[in-house]
Amino acid sequence: MPRGVRQRSLRQTIVWLFRFLWPHRLRWAGLVALSFVMIGTGLVDPLIFKFIIDDVLTAGKIALLAPAVLVFLAAKLASLWLAYLYGVAYERFVQRILLSIRHELFERIEYKQYAFFKKRELGDLIRLLTSDVWSVRQLLASGERLFINAVRLTAILVIVAFLDWRVLFLVLLALPIYALVQRRYLHAVGHQAKGVAASDVRVLNFFTARLSNILLVKLFSQEDRESRLEKHLTTKYSELNVRYLAGVLRSMTLIGSVTVLAVAALFWFGGSAVLSGALTVGSLVALYGYTLQLFEPVSGLVSTPFTLQETRASLSRISDLLSAKEEPAGARAAAKAMRGDIRFDHVRFRYPERPDRVVLEDVTLRIRSGERVAIVGKSGSGKSTLALLLLRLYEPAGGSILLDGRPLETYPPRVLRSRIGFVPQMHLLFPGSVEENLLYANPRASREELEQAARAAAIHERIVALPDGYRTSIGSGGGRFSEGEKQRLSIARALLRHPDIFLFDEPTSALDAHTAAQLNETLERVTRGRTTILITHQLAAFDFVDRVFLLHSGRLREIEGGRSLRV
């Protein structure tokens, strides 16, 4: 991507982030005001010490000791409680923003085009919603620290100048050296941090891929191989973490050395000034306190650019997500009943991730309302693509698709899919109860509708026989049910949408002959009077279809006498 495009995109992302700050501007202003008070109370300690040493102890005014100690105690307690109040208020402020950001990012991901998920690994999307959102927190924290440290540094320099301008000159000489040392080592540590982050992504993707395909690992007895690979990846990750920590500690040691040298120079110069009467002991103690406090805001200011650099990668990923195409909304249309008249007119299609391969070429198809048709063809011939196009999970590259005489793109995807009952080849079941999985299609369905759909799919008796009936946990991947029962659950879930059109993608591909025959009876019953498309390469099981089409080399043609065809 050209640099200008990426920079412009990042600026747009910053503007997008600012949208979440603006609704909380009053809370933001309150935090700024509270921070001024917190900083002020945190800087009075050395001045109180100066007063106690010079005006109480040295002057022998014992009567002032108790009031001075009480003032110190009050200031210290006020500083601690203000820091507590500020920390809680700031955290609530940040969490509100992060909650809104994460919610919008998740919604943006949900509404991305289906092709988006084909090009992204699950681990990357999870990282986007977790680690990258946390990086936004780092960005906010960097801005907050930049402000706090700038105010503290300015206040300390003013106080030091008030106490002794010569010490201010000494401090101003030490600060660039301190900043240079820290900047150099932060740069090196920053590179190591990127290596740790990249290794973290590799480990996360490895665990996600292997655990989600544990059956494949077991079937090919690859447990030992995967264990060795896991050990290699996690060992590398651990080594990088050790190097990173070593770099951080080395940096802290060198920075601490500069601080010690600065303090030693202060006592050499300040001690000489005290002996010559040019400086009081209390002033020297106060200057010592402010010198120690001085390096903390300097450190924060120097590290801010590096923190921002670390968040840049996260902002780039968020920017890429925001710029990725979302599903077309189409014109507004009511979710009313459809006749189910479908027409594919010279449709062409290639998958965006495989633009070199023609999937559909000049496909023309007319399915009348209430008609049940089967589409047969070899695996990979593009049969399922017809269903994906009808569901608007993909858009055709050429030609048009009409539904009830209207262009398909005039139906918003949510409205369109609410009228289509799609039963995919893969059993899509969430962890949770049977009831939760079925109601996912229609959360407002009544108990009567739920059981009616289960009965129509011939799965009700199996469900009520479970220990907790419809509230029984479905198990990982629906492990409590056979393949045929999972298919019936999918059919029952589709029925709960009260669809006008049915799409079945290889409904019997993983079933034995007896189970397939039972499912055939179920499909024949539930599809009566509804437009139905059956995608299969096992046509023998479905003798109730009205017409049969063969998809071959991207072209579709009707097979005469298709009902008697055996594939």
User: DSSP letter string over 412-478?
Assistant: -HHHHHHTEEEE-SS----SSBHHHHHHTS-TT--HHHHHHHHHHTT-HHHHHTSTTGGGSB--GGG
3-state secondary structure of 567: coil
275/278 Cα distance (integer angstroms) = 8
Alpha helix locations (H) across 164-222? 165-212, 214-219
- Superfamily of domain covering 342-559: P-loop containing nucleotide triphosphate hydrolases (3.40.50.300)
| Residue 537 exposed, middle or buried by CB count within 10 Å (0-12, 13-18, 19+) | middle
Per-residue pLDDT band for 317 (boundaries 50, 70, 90) equals confident
Give pLDDT tens digits for 38-91: 988 888 888 898 899 988 888 888 888 899 899 999 998 998 999 999 999 999
CA separation for the pair 492, 525 (Å, rounded): 13
Helix axes 3-21, 65-110, angle to 10 degrees: 120
Which is it for strands 547-552 and 531-535: parallel, antiparallel or unpaired?
Answer: unpaired
CB atoms within 10 A of CB 521: 11
Predicted local distance difference test score (pLDDT) of residue 425: 80
Domain 1-163+307-327 classification at class level: mainly alpha
Low-confidence winner among 163-172, 289-298, 306-315, 525-534 (lowest mean pLDDT): 306-315
CA distance 523 to 538: 14
pLDDT at 484: 81
For 486-539, the pLDDT digits (tens) are: 888 888 888 888 889 999 888 877 667 777 777 788 888 888 889 999 988 766
Q: Which residue has the tokens 């089967």?
A: 374
Q: With bands split at pLDDT 50, 70 and 90, how would you rate the model's confidence at 6? A: very low
Please write the tens of the pLDDT for every residue from 239-271: 888 888 887 777 777 777 777 888 888 888 888
Torsion angle, alpha carbons of 99, 104, 105, 108, to 10: 160
Q: Is the pLDDT of residue 36 over 70?
A: yes
Give residue-wise pLDDT tens across range 203-239. Answer: 888 888 888 788 777 777 788 888 998 899 899 889 8
From the number of C-beta atoms within 10 Å of its C-beta (0-12, 13-18, 19+), residue 262 rates as buried
Query: Is 542 in contact with 534 (CB distance < 8 Å)?
Result: yes
Q: CB count, 10 Å around CB of 260?
A: 10
Element (H, E) at 346: strand 342-349
Query: Using CA of residue 98, residue 101, residue 102, residue 103, what is the dihedral sign?
Result: positive
* Per-residue pLDDT tens over the stretch 366-377: 999 999 999 988
Per-residue pLDDT, 4: 41
The residue assigned the tokens 């009511």 is 334
Give just the sign of the alpha carbon dihedral 481, 483, 486, 492.
negative
pLDDT at 8: 39
pLDDT reported for residue 539 = 64
Amino acid letter for position 184: R
Greater confidence (232 vs 567) lies with 232
Distance of CA 359 to the CA centre of its chain: 32
Instruction: Give Cβ neighbours of residue 127 (< 8 Å, ≥ 6 apart).
Output: 201, 204, 317
Beta strand pairing status for 420-423 and 501-505?
parallel
Cα angle at 353 between 349 and 356, to 5 degrees? Answer: 60
Both tokens of 281, joined, read 């002991």
C-alpha 128/C-alpha 119 separation (Å) is 15
CA 216 and chain centroid, separation: 27
Q: Tell me what pLDDT residue 190 has.
A: 67
How many Cβ atoms are within 10 Å of 244's Cβ, its own excluded? 19
Residues 500, 488: contact at Cβ < 8 Å? no
Taking each continuous run of H as one helix and of E as one strand, the counts in the chain are 18, 10
CB 291 within 8 A of CB 266: yes
3-state DSSP assignment of residue 120: coil
pLDDT higher than threshold 60 for residue 301: yes
- In the chain, the percentage of residues whose pLDDT exceeds 90 is 13
